[in-house]
Chains A and B, each alone.
Chain A
Amino acid sequence: MNALLLKFLLIIAVLQLSSCAQMGVKPWVKPYERQKLSDPIMNKNRHVIANKHAAHVFEARESARGVEGVGGGGCGCN
């Protein structure tokens, strides 16, 4: 994947969002409409301790690392 291309995509995404705020695009989901999103079942990191273990199980056996979503830590699983 071309790192430069990705950088451009990121900048464009951010500029879109910032120009949204400038052009008066208001947040379209109001704070009082957040009932479903704030339901505990919608919290992916509800069981942090379990997610850390699951990430560790895979990190020790697969080459991929990065963006695990839970604090990755050195473990010496080489």
Chain B
Amino acid sequence: MVVIKRVPSKMKPLSFFMIIILMAHSLNLHAAVLEADKADVLYHSYEGGGMKIDGPAFLLRKKVNESIALSAFYYVDTISSASVDVLSNASPYTEERQEGSLGLEYLHDKTVLSFAIGQSDEDDFLAKSLSFNLSHDTFGDLTNVNLGISYGDNDVMRNGDENFLEKSKQYRVRTGLNQILTPTLTAGINIEGVVDEGYLNNPYRTVRYLDPTSDAGFGSQTEVYPNTRNSFAVKLSTSYYLPYRAALFGHYRYFTDSWDIEAHEMEVTYRHPFGENFLLELKYRTYQQTQANFYSDLFSHKDAQNFLARDKELSDFDDVTIGLGLTYKIPKQFFFNGMISEATLQWDHITFDYHNFRDRTLDAPIGEEPLYGFNADVIRAFMSVYF
């Protein structure tokens, strides 16, 4: 085993900021440009596995001057759930989650510094986050380097239990490189490390264990998670402009963490414009993961391990998504002030297939219920206005 010397904790933020200052004073004179001003209004809907979640989302970007842009994001989830987790333990519920964030981008020569602060709020969970990113173009603008850090602070509460309050924190560090290879091809590599600390499980969820003494044949106890989780993810991505006007994107992501979960994700997207006004997008994505080492659908007895989980999100499963999207550029004459606007409709169909999570709601001998699986449909309908 390799011995890794820890960087003194005081050094890390200091070195980071020193490097940022150095990079911001690049000698190059040619500037990159901040993105155009735009406003997006979206309606999103997810339906599957007994859950229906929908709501609006808004995004606004506005340049203050050539160097500074501000952005605001607001998102609502209205959740009505009768999912397999819920039906196994409790009754169906309705809930609302609101999320908002504000961002600032600062462009200096070929470097963009961006800051964002955000909050997500629901009855029993409050998440606050802070992030910082640096993006720099170099080598004739063929190479883009990015660095970023994020910090998250969460309050976990439990409905019906006023005294319950637990906390957790999340730290993220990321870096990446994107390279233009030819006038029609780019490739990139991005890596991100995530560290979670604190109360990481769900205060409502339980695990089950064999209990011949009980009527039901099994007993339940609250899940117990470790209070740290370290993970690492790497993504290889590419984009390609076909010999005719169309674009192809692909990426592969590998994930691993200290709970022994290993995941592979692969996605391919094809974009094809039709005439002046239409853009079609086709997407195919696969994801597979192995289970957390403390996961089991059915433990042999009570307190079988130090850590116990029956969360299907930590089980061995895979999912496949096919997606279809259509964008329509609204002709200027039909829109206020002749502003550029477009309307998009996207539909994703996802199939989840669990390899060691069983559907407890179905009638069968304990531990022999059919493996769980479900389909979900996701719809996104939105309008973007450029001004």
Q: Do chains A and B touch in the complex (CB under 8 A)?
A: yes
Whether the pair A75, B141 counts as a contact (CB closer than 8 A) is no
Of chain B, the residue at the smallest CB distance from A33 is B183
Whether the pair B57, A53 counts as a contact (CB closer than 8 A) is yes
**In the complex, chain B residues 133-171 whose Cβ is within 8 Å of any chain A Cβ:** 139-143, 150, 152-154, 156, 170
Of chain B, the residue at the smallest CB distance from A54 is B348
Of chain A, the residue at the smallest CB distance from B352 is A61
Whether the pair B249, A44 counts as a contact (CB closer than 8 A) is yes
Total A-B Cβ pairs within 8 A = 192
B355 sits at the interface (CB 8 A)? no
B261 sits at the interface (CB 8 A)? yes
Given known contacts A4-B2, A78-B201, A66 and B101 CB-to-CB distance under 8 angstroms: no
Interface of A is mostly: loop
B interface residues, how many (CB within 8 angstroms)? 98
Q: Which one of B116, B233, B265, B273 lies within 8 Å of A41 (CB-CB)?
A: B273
Q: Which one of B128, B183, B192, B314 lies within 8 Å of A66 (CB-CB)?
A: B192
Q: Which one of A27, A37, A69 lies within 8 Å of B241 (CB-CB)?
A: A37
A74 sits at the interface (CB 8 A)? yes
A interface residues, how many (CB within 8 angstroms)? 50
Q: How far is the CB of B128 from chain A (nearest CB, A)?
A: 7
B313 sits at the interface (CB 8 A)? yes
Given known contacts A69-B235, A73-B101, A63 and B313 CB-to-CB distance under 8 angstroms: yes
Q: Give the residues in chain A near B193, CB-CB below 8 Å.
A: 66
Of chain B, the residue at the smallest CB distance from A50 is B380
Q: How far is the CB of A47 from chain B (nearest CB, A)?
A: 6
Q: Give the residues in chain B near A44, CB-CB below 8 Å.
A: 239, 249, 269
Q: How far is the CB of B137 from chain A (nearest CB, A)?
A: 11
Chain B contact residues, CB within 8 Å of chain A: 2, 4, 40, 42, 44, 46, 57-59, 73, 75, 97, 99, 101, 103, 116, 118, 120, 122, 124-129, 131, 139-143, 150, 152-154, 156, 170, 172, 174-177, 180, 182-184, 186, 189-194, 200-202, 231-235, 237, 239, 241, 245-247, 249, 253-257, 259, 261, 263, 265, 269, 271, 273, 279, 287, 289, 292, 313-314, 319, 325, 327, 344, 346, 348, 350, 352, 378, 380, 382, 384
Pull 13 A–B residue pairs with CB atoms less than 8 Å apart, ordered by A: A4-B2, A29-B140, A37-B186, A49-B57, A50-B382, A53-B44, A64-B253, A64-B289, A65-B255, A67-B235, A74-B127, A74-B154, A76-B127
